Structure 1
Amino acid sequence: MKKYSYHLVWLAGIYLLSAFTANDTAYEQEIQQWHQKRVESLKAESGWLNLAGLFWLEEGKNTFGGDGKNNVNFPADKSNPFLGEIILEKGKVTLKANADAEVFNGDAPVTELDIFPGEKPVTLRHKSLRWFIIKRGDKYAVRLRDLESEYLKGFSGIERYPVQENWRVKARFEPTTGKKVSITDITGRTADQDSPGTLVFNVGGKEYRLDAVGSTENLFIIFADQTNKTETYGAGRFLYTSVEKDGSAWLDFNKSINPPCAFSPYATCPLPPKQNKLALAVSAGEKRYGEH
């Protein structure tokens, strides 16, 4: 009878171990699938790996093309020498292409077209190049993509910490009304962004706080931590989450990601506000990819 009892206990132990292993594997698979989608988004046409230039426009006419005499210098080996003019006039941007420029909006050749502002961004193409207008503060710029970019060709994946479920932390969401968070980007421009509230969480018995921007359905967190010094991107990382019905939010640090500036020198990334610099080493998520 005693041997039979021991056998049951042994079987029960094996069953529990198998259950825990299956659960851990399921969570790891979830993170792996999430990360694969993340990599695919970086490599996509709208991703960050193909950025090839960021050109700030001057008021008035800005000539553009592959020749160095232009105001906006596209890569000489990817562009005709003179493609035309990009005209900025009191917040309105118009493109005038030379007759032989081979500039297209979709499949339609472009001679003259208002490209900013509009209901949605207008993306133009010439050979492997794609470009559109962005606005940062009161400045306007051409953001250029190259579908044959060396950054895209040289991408070999992102090193990450091992998936650890204990870095999936439940936080308390403290809502606020009318709160603003000052966010500075790498160009030195600072803007006050709406913050729906603060996330309060515990690690190792200590309480930490992170201000979020965005909305309760899509909280965006820009944070720094002690791993930035040696293992993760020096300018901090990003994390997204949302508020649950009970007022909590999951902070899954296994989904901490590098900002676009880790992959391209042509991105304009926001930096962590001082209150989001954690006195904590978050050894989860993406590790350092590069310092541009």
Structure 2
Amino acid sequence: MTTTETDAFTAEWRAWHRGREENLAAPHGFLSITSLHWLGAVPARFPDAPGEWSTGPEGVTVVLDEGTELVIDGEAVHGRHSFGVIPERGGVNAVWGDAVIEVAKRGGYDIVRPRHPDNPLRVAFAGTPAYDPDPKWVVTGRYEPFDQPEPTTVGAAVDGLEHVYDAPGRIHFAIDGRDLSLTAFPGYAPGSLLVLFTDATSGVTTYAANRALWLPPPGADGAVTLDFNRATNLPCAYTDLATCPLPPAENRLPVAIEAGERIPFERR
């Protein structure tokens, strides 16, 4: 790269990183979560959410006290409200004053996670340390789809919880002449991919449990770009109130990926 190209590369990365931090520290981002409640058949009250909460075959239900309301999709609800059956990795955000009550399903369990903007973890957030961006960590790989998506069960940041992903394929690449590969999971956008991984820096300079890399759809020839400068922490790197998935065993890279986000200040 020329000096001009390197400067542009660095500026683009810094803008991306600022956007990441702004999203994380948003008033109702992950740093605003104050608790994690696992719902059951017996109605339960929580100190940081209104009403009584329960779940069953017909999904999550809340019974609000008189004079209390939640706002869901712009509509105020009172009394008894059914959220219905929430799909895995799905969720609903219900507004309660200046807070948001997240109702979601993770690992087959219905949960409530209140998000309060004044949570000390969010108020004290000082950004996320990261390696300086370096073009050498932009690697071209080759995506090989499986004949059929392979159900892949992985652990979670919460003990005893499991996540199941339909892995569509595997990515092959090389670092310093060493052949490596990563099992990929579906990303958010159609055709995009997500890889969860650890490497030799994990638990030393980067978060021990996992890091994530979001990839654009591979080209028609299977070519895919892995920019490890954009390897990110998942929410569990900042808070114990996250249910993040762990990488599959084959995604534990035996090399040091000295790029991307490092151990958050909150974990030091």
TM-score (norm 2): 0.89
The structure having more radius of gyration, on CA atoms, is 1
Letter in 2 for 1:57: L
Q: Distance in 2 between matches of 1:172 and 1:199?
A: 6
| Residue 259 (structure 1) aligns with | 234
| Residue 198 (structure 1) aligns with | 170
- 1:90 alignment partner, one of 37, 53, 57: 57
- 1:115 alignment partner, one of 60, 76, 83: 83
Letter in 2 for 1:132: E
Q: Distance in 2 between matches of 1:148 and 1:43?
A: 11
Secondary structure of 1:239 counterpart: strand
Q: What pairs up with 1:45-194 in 2 under 5 angstroms?
A: 45-62=27-44, 64=45, 72-74=46-48, 83-105=50-72, 106=74, 108=76, 110-117=78-85, 121-178=91-148, 179-187=150-158, 188-194=160-166
| Residue 238 (structure 1) aligns with | 212
Gaps in structure 2 of 5+ consecutive residues: none
Task: Tell me if the contact between 1:181 and 1:195 (Cα under 8 Å) persists in the aligned partners.
Answer: yes
CA deviations over 1:36-94 (Å, ceiling 9, x no partner): 111121122452111111100111322x2xxxxxxx332xxxx7xxx422232324212
Task: Tell me if the contact between 2:100 and 2:115 (Cα under 8 Å) persists in the aligned partners.
Answer: yes
Task: Tell me if the contact between 1:57 and 1:141 (Cα under 8 Å) persists in the aligned partners.
Answer: yes
Q: Distance in 1 between matches of 2:169 and 2:67?
A: 53
Of Structure 1 and Structure 2, the greater helix share is in: 1
Secondary structure of 2:105 counterpart: strand
| Residue 8 (structure 2) aligns with | 26
Deviation at 1:181, TM superposition (A): 2.2
Aligned residues: 259
Task: Tell me if the contact between 1:104 and 1:110 (Cα under 8 Å) persists in the aligned partners.
Answer: no
Q: Distance in 2 between matches of 1:250 and 1:46?
A: 32
CA deviations over 1:92-132 (Å, ceiling 9, x no partner): 21211111335444462522221233698442233332113
Secondary structure of 1:229 counterpart: coil
Task: Tell me if the contact between 1:116 and 1:133 (Cα under 8 Å) persists in the aligned partners.
Answer: no
Q: 1:51 to 1:256 in 2, by over 3 A?
A: same
Provide the aligned C-alpha RMSD in A.
Answer: 2.2
Q: Distance in 1 between matches of 2:12 and 2:220?
A: 23
Q: Distance in 2 between matches of 1:277 and 1:41?
A: 28
Q: 1:230 to 1:118 in 2, by over 3 A?
A: closer
CA deviations over 1:147-186 (Å, ceiling 9, x no partner): 1111111111111111100000000111112223221112
Gaps in structure 1 of 5+ consecutive residues: 1-18, 65-71
Task: Tell me if the contact between 2:151 and 2:166 (Cα under 8 Å) persists in the aligned partners.
Answer: yes
| Residue 13 (structure 1) aligns with | none
Task: Tell me if the contact between 2:31 and 2:239 (Cα under 8 Å) persists in the aligned partners.
Answer: yes
Q: Distance in 2 between matches of 1:169 and 1:227?
A: 18
